[in-house]
Chain A
Amino acid sequence: MLGKLMKHEFRATARLMLPLYLVIVALAAFTRVTNWVLEKNDNGILSLINGLFIFLFIVSLFASVIFAVVMMIYRFYKNLMTDQGYLMFTLPANIHELLWSKLFVSVIWFIGTVLVDILAGFIVTYESGMAANLFNGFRDLFSQLSTYYALNGTAFVLEAILAFLVTMLVGCLCFYAPISIGHSFANHKTLLSVVFFFVIQFVLRILNIFGFASLAQSFPETGPSAVPTQIVTLVHSAAWGYIAYELILGGILYFITWLMLRRHLNLQ
């Protein structure tokens, strides 16, 4: 059932996300072309058009990220909290499947947006041999880090990817939880969703402060005299500490969302 829900979630979102990706790539291509023409033939109007394309291109990069976040919020609200909820909550699917279908698809679009933005960046700035240079640069960086800090490059990359994925999932739940709480009330559902969003954010900020304070105290001295292995241990510990913290936070927010949808659903 999760697969079917994801399929329909993709259908609902792809009709908006794919044209957006197309616009970003097209803007990147236009920017690239105007850059190229300007190199050959410099004149005022071309410079103006080129400047306009560069501006639109940069705006589109930011807009794509904002759009992906807005769509994640809107899909949850529209599909589960409005009249469509009568259809979705009476499907032969449980609340976990409904939630995970939205979470997975949102995260996939976030990753897709980052990749398309990177691709667009390449289109605008690409030069012959750039990809090879970039690859070699990363390889050298890891090689040096491995030599000097005895850093396990693979573990570091995996930790970074895991942290990125967990952050995105928790990011979605930071919106899902307050929306589901706000919509359990009879009136002022949207207003209350916003209020609960800020309440949750306030609590999280307080927890973050305490979390960082205790983290800082628990680590050994890592000043300039610290040996490289100590720094590596610190990096790994911090990464896993962050992932664990996000997982606990995500678990709490997920439970709140599930509980509200399961026990306190209040469709109009």
Chain B
Amino acid sequence: MPILECRNLTKNYGTVCALDGINLSIEPGRIVGLLGPNGSGKTTLIKLANGLLQPTSGEILIGGEAPSPKTHAIVSYLPERIALIDWMNVKQQLDFFQDFYPDFQREAAEQMLSHLSIPTAQTVKQMSKGTREKMQLILVMSRKAGLYLLDEPIGGVDPATRDYILHTIISNYNPEAAVIISTHLIADVENILDDVIFLNRGKIALQSSVDEIREKQGKSVDALFREVFKCWEN
């Protein structure tokens, strides 16, 4: 059974169409790049999968069910914004995740935090932007989830932090789960992807495995992306 499935999924914001009749199916065990320029509908799709938005028409299913508290329990979501509770310190954040998510692996989180030398008494308010992003990623990746939805995990961070984030994702995700990484920084992520979905103006422009792109088209994902979206612009 696909872990994520969209059937004729459409989302309009007033008169603006953010997603236009999307059909896709993602199987467990795959790392999928949700790629597209800004405003292509990536975040809208991820918000719909988390129940933060409601579809205008069509449906989105997580493990065969519409987004609900039950699906939230198997989805580990990294929003593009820092959603940590700012007055909490590191220990309190860990307590919070441990309380709400039975699949949260506290030891794994503590180990990753110790590598970063983040003091457990430090509050989110006292952290730098980069540390907050790392902290949020550590919490999300410390869950043994069925589906990881990572919205722009490497947007707006320096190259060293980017490497750290990608390393954390690869080293910690549940291999039986699917990972969806939304980004427009393709060159940085393409080495870890199994499949890619190109989104443009709310429509799927391409859905393929990375191997297929390399073998059949003889191009990197980044090169193909530039080509596809250049065509769209023309």
Contacts and interface: CB of A to CB of B under 8 A. Distances in A.
A and B physically associate? yes
Interface of A: 1, 4, 7-8, 11-12, 15, 79, 83-87, 89-94, 186, 262-268
A92 B70 contact: yes
Contact of A8 (B54, B70, B73, B96): B96
Given A86-B79, A90-B75, A4 B84 contact: no
Interface of B: 13, 47, 50-54, 68-70, 72-73, 75, 77, 79, 81-85, 87, 92, 96, 99-101
B85 A84 contact: yes
A8 B94 CA distance: 12
7 closest Cβ contacts across the A-B interface? A86-B83, A86-B79, A92-B73, A87-B83, A92-B72, A92-B69, A83-B81
B84 A87 contact: yes
A4 B100 contact: yes
A34 B52 CA distance: 56
A89 B87 CA distance: 19
Main secondary structure of the interface of B (DSSP, over half): loop
A12 to B, nearest CB: 7
A89 to B, nearest CB: 6
A15 B99 CA distance: 19
A90 B77 contact: yes
A85 B50 CA distance: 12
Interface centre among B50, B72, B83 (most CB of A within 10 A): B83
A12 B52 contact: no
A263 B52 contact: no
Given A85-B83, A89-B51, 19 more contacts: A1-B69, A4-B99, A7-B99, A83-B79, A83-B81, A86-B83, A87-B84, A89-B50, A89-B52, A90-B52, A90-B75, A91-B69, A91-B72, A91-B100, A92-B100, A94-B69, A262-B54, A265-B53, A267-B47
Contacts of A265: 52-53
Contacts of B47: 267
A7 B99 CA distance: 10
Contact of A87 (B68, B73, B85, B87): B85
Given A83-B81, A92-B69, A94-B69, A8 B52 contact: no
Contacts of B99: 4, 7-8
A90 B74 CA distance: 11
A87 B13 CA distance: 23
Interface centre among A89, A186, A262 (most CB of B within 10 A): A89
Contacts of B92: 11
B224 to A, nearest CB: 31
Nearest to A16: B87
B77 to A, nearest CB: 5
Contacts of A267: 47, 52
